[in-house]
Amino acid sequence: MAVSRPSAAAPQLPGVVVGSPVRAERSRWTNAVILVGRFMRQKPLGAIGGVIVVSMLLMAVFAERIAPYGYDETIRGARMKPPGPVHWLGTDNLSRDLWSRVVYGARISISVGFLTIAVGTCLATLIGVSSGYFGGVYDIAVQRVVDAWMSFPFFVIALSVMAVLGPGLLNVVLSLAVVITATSSRVIRGSTISVAQLTYVEAARAMGAGHPRIILRYVIPNVMATIIILATIGLGGVILAESALSFLGFGVPPPYPSWGAMLSGSGRTYMYRAPWMAIWPGVAISLAVFGFNMLGDALRDVLDPRLRGSHRAGRGG
């Protein structure tokens, strides 16, 4: 039992009693609540962003339960009805409930956002860490390609890649991931260079650790804060870019509702008679991006204020 008892010298987290798993579990939750509470007090705008993000996530996950109608369900006698108690956001020119379409649209935006960031960040980490760690000719060559890639406007390259891949959810993810990889890898490379020069990496090398072990055990965990911040900040930009691609007809094909596509196509001619068709999808995009941007900014300030002013993922439109 002596092992589980806290020793006088061992540091102890406040509220955590070693040797009592149930209480320790509860304390962990309490700590999480305290942390969230502190974050909300210190960063009220970030907290608002957090609430919006959580709402969007719930909309995306529980779309079937939240939406009163199917995203492609035609409601008889409800063509271009204004917002009201039955159809909260009104209906469109094909008699479909706009609220239901906006709710289902969250699924596209959130899926594209998270998948793109996951793929893009993994690629960026691979390129950035290897380039920063190995240096030399490899670094010079990789960075020239990154330079070239970064010379293209974000939206132009996304559009060109989409033209190659064709419409579709996975293709949107790939095209946007390719774009964010370049900018993110540059920042990750910078962090890797500074971490790779630290004494503990040198010590690991002196102890005979190989490159894979040094990278996985010492470098990546120490650039993780940068990676997390880049991922959070990039989400808003990716959602915005997806909506712009969909607006131009290069996104997820109909009838699945994407917020950007809801603002374009045949519906545009009816917007003069049913302006709600022009308003709500745009409100949804702006709110989602606003939420992710606010949360991302606040997290960056809390996790690593040095990254303030670093390049934000580009935007289209």
Partner 1 sequence: MLRRYVAKRLLVAIPSLLIASMIVFTLPRLIPGDVVQLMLEEKAYAKDIEELRAKLGLNRPIYVQYFEWLGHVTTGNLGESLWTRRPVLEELGRRLPVTLTLGVCAIAFAILIAVPVGVISAARQDTLKDYTARSAAVLGLSVPGFWLATLVIVLPAIWWGWRPATGFTEFSQSPLYYLTQFLLPGVILGVASSAAIMRLTRGMLLEVLRQDYVRTAWAKGLAERVIVLKHSLKNAVIPVVTVLGIQIAQIIGGTVIIEQIFGFPGMGRFLFDAIVQRDYPVIQGVNLIVVSVIVIVNLTVDALYATLDPRIRL
Is the torsion defined by CA of 207, 213, 215, 216 positive or negative? negative
In angstroms, the Cα distances linking 127 to 120, 248, 279 are 10, 31, 41
Alpha carbon distance 207, 243 (integer Å): 51
Shortest CB 189 distance to partner 1, Å: 15
Shortest CB 288 distance to partner 1, Å: 8
- Note the helical H segments in the chain: 21-42, 44-61, 63-66, 98-134, 136-150, 154-165, 169-196, 199-206, 211-214, 220-247, 259-262, 276-303
Shortest CB 23 distance to partner 1, Å: 40
Q: How far apart are the first and last CA of the chain?
A: 64
Among 99, 93, 102, 59, residue whose Cα is nearest residue 74: 93
Pick 66 or 248: Cβ nearer partner 1: 248
Which residues fall within 8 angstroms of residue 240, CB to CB, at 6 or more apart?
285, 289, 315, 316, 317
Pick 26 or 315: Cβ nearer partner 1: 315
Within the chain, what is the greatest distance between any pair of CA atoms?
77
Which one of 23-31, 82-90, 127-135, 278-286 is the stretch in contact with partner 1 (CB under 8 A)? 278-286
Shortest CB 134 distance to partner 1, Å: 19
3-state secondary structure (DSSP) of residue 88: coil
Tell me the per-residue interface mask from 133 to 152 with partner 1, x by CB under 8 A, - otherwise: -----------xx-xxx-xx
Residues 92-131 that bind partner 1 (CB under 8 A): none
Is the torsion defined by CA of 129, 130, 136, 142 positive or negative? negative
| # binding residues, partner 1 (CB under 8 A) | 51
Q: Any contact of residue 298 with partner 1 (CB under 8 A)? A: no
Which one of 18-26, 113-121, 189-197, 283-291 is the stretch in contact with partner 1 (CB under 8 A)? 283-291
Which one of 21-29, 72-80, 127-135, 288-296 is the stretch in contact with partner 1 (CB under 8 A)? 288-296
Shortest CB 64 distance to partner 1, Å: 27
- Token pair 């993994």 is found at 122
Q: Which amino acid is at 41?
A: R
Shortest CB 236 distance to partner 1, Å: 7
Options 54, 163, 170, 216; binder of partner 1; rule CB under 8 A = 163
Residues 38-67 that bind partner 1 (CB under 8 A): 45
Q: Which amino acid is at 77?
A: G
- Token pair 């040095």 is found at 306
Tell me the per-residue interface mask from 217 to 256 with partner 1, x by CB under 8 A, - otherwise: -------------------x---x--xx--xx--------
Options 271, 302, 303, 307; binder of partner 1; rule CB under 8 A = 271
Residues in contact with partner 1 by CB under 8 A are: 45, 144-145, 147-149, 151-156, 159-161, 163-164, 166, 236, 240, 243-244, 247-248, 260, 263-264, 268, 271-272, 275, 278-279, 281-282, 285-287, 289-290, 293-294, 297, 308-309, 311-312, 314-317
